[in-house]
Amino acid sequence: MKALRLHGAGDLRLHDEPIPTPKDGEGLLKVTAVGVCGSDLHWFSEGNIGADSLKQPLVLGHEFAGVTSDGQRVAVDPSLTCGQCEFCLEGNPNFCTELLFAGHSITDGALREWMTWRPAFFHPLPEALSDADGAMLEPLGVAIHAVNLAHLKPGMSAAVLGCGPIGLLTLQVARLSGATRILATDLLAHRLDAAQDMGATQTFLADGHSENETLKAATRGRGVDVVFEAAGTAESVESAIGIAKPGGVVVLAGIPTQDETRFTASIARRKGLTIKIVRRMKNTYPTAIHLVERGLVDVRSLATHHFPLERAVEAFAMAQRREGLKIVIEL
C-alpha cells in the first residue's frame, strides 16, 4: 500500500509498505478521506508541535474517514483513550493519561491506504454524509467542545478571532447555540467571506495589531460575552483579552507556533475574565454527525480542495500558503 511519511520539517515521502495486520482488539480500515489540519502543518513546517518533536518517520492525519472490513463507512475518532484512568472515569477522556493520538508521536495516522484502529472508535456515517464530510467531524468536534466550554446562552454576543476551519466551525456552532451577534476576524479576506456565509454578523480584516480597537468600537466599548480565539497568534490572544466584556469568557483554541501564550495581565485581571483552554474534545462524534446530517452545520463548503494521496505534498504546500479553507486528501 501507499503511505505518506514525514521524515523531518518539509520532508514528506510516499512509501510502499505492507498493509498492517490488526492486533488484538483492532480492526482493519481502508482509509477514504483525510483532512489536512493546522496541527499537521505545525509538524510539516517545524517538525514538531509544542514540546513534542518528531521521533520517527511519522504518518500524519487525524481527521479521517474510512471503510471497515465489513463494508461500513465510518468516521474515526483519532484519540484512543483507555476508559479506565482517573480522568477517563471522571468523564474527561481528553485528559486520558494513556492517550494515543493518530498522527502524533509514534502513533501513525491516516495518510495511508490502510490502517488498523480500535473499532470502539469508529462512528458509522449516515448515507447523507460523504467521506470528506466524515473527515470534517473531527474539527467539528473540537468546535463543539470549544462552544460547550464557553457556556454560551441564547442572546449572547460572541467573537471568533481566526476563521480557519476551527474558527468557521466554532462560528456555526456558536450561532446554533444562540449567539445573536458574532464578530469575526481573520488576516485573509476569503475566510471572512466564508465567515459571513456561515453566520458572522460583522467581519473585520485583521492586520495583526490594530483590530483590538476596531473590534471594541464595534461593541461600543462594552466587549462581547464570549471570545473564541482560533488563530493561535500572540496578537489574536491579546485581542481576545481586549474584546471580552468585563466578566466575560475567553476560550483559547489556537495552537501557538512559539510554545507560549501571553497577554496583558492588568486587562484580564480588571475584567475578571474566565480563560479556558480547549484540549481536544469529549465524545462529540454523535453530536457532530447529528448536526451535519440535519443540515444544521455546513462542513461541505469548508472542504474547498481535494487531492489524491499521490499529490499530498502539493496539498500540504497549498495548506501552508493558507489557500482555500480545508484541504482534504481522498484515497
Closest to Zn ion by CB, 64 vs 122, is 64
The one segment of 32-40, 167-175, 187-195, 221-229 that binds Zn ion by CB under 5 A: 32-40
Min separation Cβ 40 and Zn ion, Å: 7
Q: Is 161 an interacting residue with respect to Zn ion (CB under 5 A)?
A: no
For Zn ion, the closer of residues 110 and 129 by Cβ is 110
Q: Write the binding mask 267 to 286 for Zn ion: x where contact by CB under 5 A, - elsewhere.
A: --------------------
The residue whose grid cell reads 491516516 is: 110
Close Cβ partners of 322 (under 8 Å, ≥ 6 residues apart):
164, 188
Using left for φ > 0, alpha for ψ between -120 and 50, and beta otherwise, residue 155 falls in: left
96 binds Zn ion (CB under 5 A): yes
Q: Is 37 or 136 the residue whose CB approaches Zn ion more closely? A: 37
Window of 95-103, 218-226, 229-237, 260-268 that interacts with Zn ion by CB under 5 A = 95-103
37 lines the binding site for Zn ion (CB under 5 A) = yes
Asked if 146 interacts with Zn ion (CB under 5 A), we say no
Among 59, 80, 88, 198, binds Zn ion (CB under 5 A): 88
Q: How far is the CB of 211 from Zn ion (least distance, A)?
A: 25
Q: How far is the CB of 241 from Zn ion (least distance, A)?
A: 25
Rounded to whole angstroms, the Cα distance separating 193 from 78 reads 30
Choose the binding region for Zn ion from 35-43, 108-116, 208-216, 296-304 (rule: CB under 5 A).
35-43
> What are the angstrom distances between the C-alpha of 195 and each of 134, 200, 203, 208?
21, 5, 7, 18
CB closer to Zn ion out of 74 and 142 = 142
Least distance between Zn ion and beta carbon 95 (Å): 8
b/e code 201-224 from CB counts within 10 Å (16+ = b): bbbbebeeeebbebbbebbeeebb
User: Which stretch in 82-90, 209-217, 226-234, 279-287 sits in contact with Zn ion by CB under 5 A?
Assistant: 82-90
CB of 216 to Zn ion, least distance (A): 31
Q: How far apart are CA 226 and CA 246, in angstroms?
A: 10
- Report the residue from 28, 85, 234, 267 that binds Zn ion according to the rule CB under 5 A: 85
| Minimum CB distance to Zn ion, residue 96 (Å) | 3
Q: What is the nearest approach in angstroms of Zn ion to the Cβ of residue 234?
A: 21
- For Zn ion, give the closer residue by CB, 28 or 85: 85
Residue 49 binds Zn ion (CB under 5 A): no
The stretch near Zn ion (CB under 5 A) out of 22-30, 86-94, 223-231, 304-312 is 86-94
Placement of cell 475567553 in the chain: 250
CA 100 vs. chain centroid, Å, equals: 17
Using rule CB under 5 A, residue 82 touches Zn ion: yes
Interaction with Zn ion in 286-305: which residues (CB under 5 A)?
none
Q: What are the residues binding Zn ion (CB under 5 A)?
A: 37, 81-82, 85, 88, 96
